[in-house]
Amino acid sequence: MLTLHGYWRSGAAYRVRLALHFKGVAFTQVTHDLRRAEHKADSYLGLNPQGMVPTLVTPEGRITQSLAILEWLEETYPTPSLLPSTAIARAEVRAMAATIACDIHPLHNLRVLTALRALGQNEAGVQAWIARWIEAGFRALEPEIAARGGPYAFGRDVTLADCCLIPQVFSAERFGVAMGAFPVLSAAAAAARASAWAQAAHPAHQPDADH
Ligand SMILES: N[C@@H](CCC(=O)N[C@@H](CS)C(=O)NCC(=O)O)C(=O)O
């Protein structure tokens, strides 16, 4: 049995839940309330020395970093697949996922926002910061997704790109980012989000959700 250490509103943990539910892999969850700094407890740092969620505990060992976890899930449970059949298409899907996981999300995670506030930035400034980086990433992704023709982020099949896009759109909506400039990206996220597997992974449907 796999154990996912996460938190209901964590975008990175949400990516992993999406892949687990898409593949129909059974798992249990352990929650670490980020608002109470439970992810910085010594007991958790042994599993994840960065003090971040998610961590996936497997019979072979523990894995940190959501993209590494997604790749391990894809290799270990190849069907149904979250990667296309050609090397170039797989690279393109990974590039979309990295745009989100490496270049958008890290700029608005809790520790960065906490640091901005500690440096004296007011809430309006923090909100502008969040919107700036999400919009910059979405501007780049919008034509990439449009070029694949939908309905999902990389065309007709669900991929790792959707596992990253759905949580990023959830965060954008939560932070009040204006989504009007990204109709194709929004439609792709909505298409994937409507599926039963994606609904099961939704933050509001997790046992630790307090809405
Ligand atoms: N690159 C990491 C990022 C993980 C991450 O940023 N997790 C957030 C929650 S979404 C976190 O634990 N934040 C705690 C903090 O910023 O203190 C991954 O993809 O797993």
Instruction: Name residue 4's amino acid.
Output: L
Strand 27-31 versus strand 2-6 pairing type = parallel
Number of domains the chain is built from? 2
Give residue 45 CA to ligand 1 midpoint distance, Å. Answer: 13
CATH number at residue 122: 1.20.1050.10
Burial class (CB in 10 A: 0-12, 13-18, 19+), 148: buried
* 177 backbone dihedrals φ, ψ, rounded to 5°: -70, 135
Domain membership of residue 173 as a residue range: 87-197
Give residue 65 CA to ligand 1 midpoint distance, Å. Answer: 8
Q: What per-residue confidence (pLDDT) applies to 211? A: 64
Q: What per-residue confidence (pLDDT) applies to 158? A: 98
In this prediction the pTM is: 0.98
Residues 94 and 192 in one domain: yes
Give residue 149 CA to ligand 1 midpoint distance, Å. Answer: 31
DSSP class of residue 152 equals B
Contacts by residues 44-47 (CB-CB < 8 Å, ≥ 24 positions apart): 44/5, 47/5
CA dist 40 and 34 (Å) reads 9
Inter-CA distances, 170 with 9, 47, 64, 115, 129, Å = 9, 27, 22, 23, 17
Residues 101 and 178 in one domain: yes
Which two three-digit tokens encode residue 188? 């792709």
Nearest CA to ligand 1 atom 9: 10
Residues 16 and 62 in one domain: yes
Residues with CB under 6 Å of ligand 1 are: 10-12, 34, 39, 52-54, 65-67, 101, 109-111
Q: What per-residue confidence (pLDDT) applies to 64? A: 98
Give residue 87 CA to ligand 1 midpoint distance, Å. Answer: 29
Q: What does the buried/exposed string (b/e) look like for 167-203 if buried means 16 or more CB atoms within 10 Å of the residue's CB?
A: bbbbbbeeeebebeebebbbebbebbbebebbeebbb
Give residue 51 CA to ligand 1 midpoint distance, Å. Answer: 8
CA dist 157 and 84 (Å) reads 8
Examine the fold and report which residue of 56, 80, 104 is the final residue of a domain before the chain moves on: 80
Q: What per-residue confidence (pLDDT) applies to 73? A: 98
Mutation probe of ligand 1 site: the residue of 53, 72, 107, 117 with most atoms within 8 A of C-beta: 53
Examine the fold and report which residue of 29, 60, 80 is the final residue of a domain before the chain moves on: 80
Which two three-digit tokens encode residue 116? 């901005």
> Is the CB of residue 70 less than 8 Å from the CB of residue 82?
yes
**Mind listing the pLDDT tens digit of every residue in the chain (211 residues)?**
999 999 999 999 999 999 999 999 999 999 999 999 999 999 999 999 999 999 999 999 999 999 999 999 999 999 999 999 999 999 999 999 999 999 999 999 999 999 999 999 999 999 999 999 999 999 999 999 999 999 999 999 999 999 999 999 999 999 999 999 999 999 999 999 999 999 999 999 999 998 6
Strand 27-31 versus strand 61-64 pairing type = unpaired
- Let me know if residue 162 belongs to a domain: yes
CA dist 7 and 38 (Å) reads 10
Which two three-digit tokens encode residue 146? 């449009």
Examine the fold and report which residue of 80, 103, 129 is the final residue of a domain before the chain moves on: 80
